[in-house]
Amino acid sequence: MKAQVLTILQEVFPAVQAAEMAVKLRPYWWEAWQTLGRAQLSMGEVELATRSFQVAVHLSPCERHLWEEDLVWAQKLRDQKRHAARVASQEEEARHLIDEAPELQQDFDDFESDEVIAACTAIAERQKKYEELRKTAVVVATQGVTTERMREDADRPSCASHSDFVKARGL
């Protein structure tokens, strides 16, 4: 199929277009839906790829590799993407709370009062939480397990082991 060749040649957008045309011409051909899903994964469209694989499974439920390989892989990628987005939103929320601290919105009469000390303590705790979130990186192990790890300092290079590399899935 043309889309498979284009995917191998790293022509991702034309591959998706060719796979969409194949699906449009033969909507009950499960292999076209599978190819469309794989092309969409190559383009980074995990949600669309999951849907395409689900349609392929619906059309041909006896094809075990659709269940065991393609659909499971797309769902793992979707979960990892959601986890990374959740970590990024937590970091953004913490940064927003530091930039616009509600404790500092009021006007203080005495700069040595307990209210000022409490506000400064709250802001310091938020900054500490933000720094911890910034040091956290989402790592995908070769087994597909998503973990959070502390980032290394930029001036100290880390010696990476083979278990830290992400396993790429070939088509």
Residue 12 within any structural domain of the chain: yes
Q: How confident is the model at residue 168, as a pLDDT?
A: 45
Q: What is the mean pLDDT of residues 23-33?
A: 93
| Residue 99, in any domain of the structure | no
Structural domain including 57 reads 2-73
How many domains, in total, are found in the chain? Answer: 1
**With helix as H, strand as E and coil as C, how does 24-52 read?**
HHCCCCHHHHHHHHHHHHHHCCHHHHHHH
In a domain, 90, yes or no: no
**CA distance linking residue 92 with residue 106, whole number of Å:** 23
Structural tokens at position 103: 């404790």
Do the beta carbons of residue 39 and residue 19 sit within 8 Å? yes
Say if CB 139 and CB 149 are below 8 A apart.
Answer: yes
CATH code, domain carrying 42: 1.25.40.10
| Mean pLDDT, rounded, for 104-121 | 69
DSSP 3-state helix, strand, coil percentages of the chain (rounded to 5)?
65, 5, 30
Rounded CA-CA distance 21/44 in Å is: 19
pLDDT (0 to 100) of residue 95:
76
Asked, for residue 144, whether it belongs to a domain, the answer is no
pLDDT band at 161 (very low <50, low <70, confident <90, very high): very low
Answer for the pair 130, 95: CB distance below 8 angstroms, yes or no. yes
Which runs of E-coded beta strand occur in the chain?
Answer: 136-140, 146-150
**Residue 68 resides in a domain:** yes
Lowest mean pLDDT among 110-114, 117-121, 130-134, 162-166: 162-166
| Distances in whole angstroms, Cα of residue 117 to Cα of each of 42, 107, 128 | 53, 14, 16
What is the average pLDDT score of the chain? 77
The answer to whether residue 131 is domain-embedded is no
What is the identity of the amino acid at 94? A
pTM higher than 0.75: no
- For 48-95, the pLDDT digits (tens) are 999 999 999 999 888 888 888 888 888 888 888 888 888 888 888 877
Average pLDDT over residues 44-48: 89
Specify if 11 maps to a domain. Answer: yes
Q: Which of 1, 75, 65, 68 is nearest to 32 (CA)?
A: 1
pLDDT of amino acid 2: 87
How many angstroms separate the CA atoms of 1 and 3, rounded?
6
What is the tens place of the pLDDT at every residue in 116-143?
777 778 778 877 877 777 776 666 554 5
Assess if residue 51 is contained within a domain.
yes
